[in-house]
Amino acid sequence: MDYYGKEMSRLIQQLSSLPGIGAKSAQRLAFHIVNMPLEQAKTLSETILDAREHICYCKVCCTLTDQEICPICSDPSRDPGTIMVVENTRDLAAYEKTGKFKGLYHVLQGAISPMLGIGPADIRLKELMIRLKGDVKEVIIATNSSLEGETTAMYISRLVKPTGIKVSRIASGVPVGGDLEYIDEVTLLRALEGRTQL
């Protein structure tokens, strides 16, 4: 049954097609957009169109940017000898927020997942291997601790090791504030294996 009329239903339907937006969230967003001042709604729609038209992949690290080469890759103060491999731009942003990593990144734009039909050729591994022909000393693999992330990490490790470049994997384990009794065995084992001296 159509409660709102054709245009409102269409807006709700389009919003609910976005990832992470269910029917209720889409409805709430639709009402918010319809009640916005017209100029604000126009600015929102223009911003979405501009982003879709101008955002592309960095020619060096494959992150999303509105320039040919992203600000991180074009920063001369970054260490080009260390490359951190992440699954997506959100992961890159998470590491950048720490303010501690001073190397460069490589964004895979996904992870190997045979269940979903995503193989090594479907992510940005070829571009990574081209970058490794330069003066790279270490590759830090920072994929997620999921099955797909672990599979991708092992695959990258096997590709990079024959080049003689040092390959490392980020540590994972017990989160800050986590109670040991609620943490799964795999996480506890990785925390134990990745222990550091005090």
pTM for the model stands at: 0.80
pLDDT tens column, 10-53: 999 999 999 999 999 999 999 999 999 999 999 999 999 999 99
Yes or no: say if 105 and 143 are a contact pair by the CB < 8 Å rule: no
Q: How far apart are CA 13 and CA 62, in angstroms?
A: 31
Positions in the chain whose pLDDT score sits under 70:
1-2, 174, 178, 180-181, 195-198
pLDDT score of 189: 74
pLDDT score of 174: 66
Domains in the chain, please, with CATH?
6-54 (1.10.8.420), 77-177+186-190 (3.40.1360.10)
CA distances 93 to 52, 64, 101, 151, 172, Å, are 20, 11, 11, 22, 18
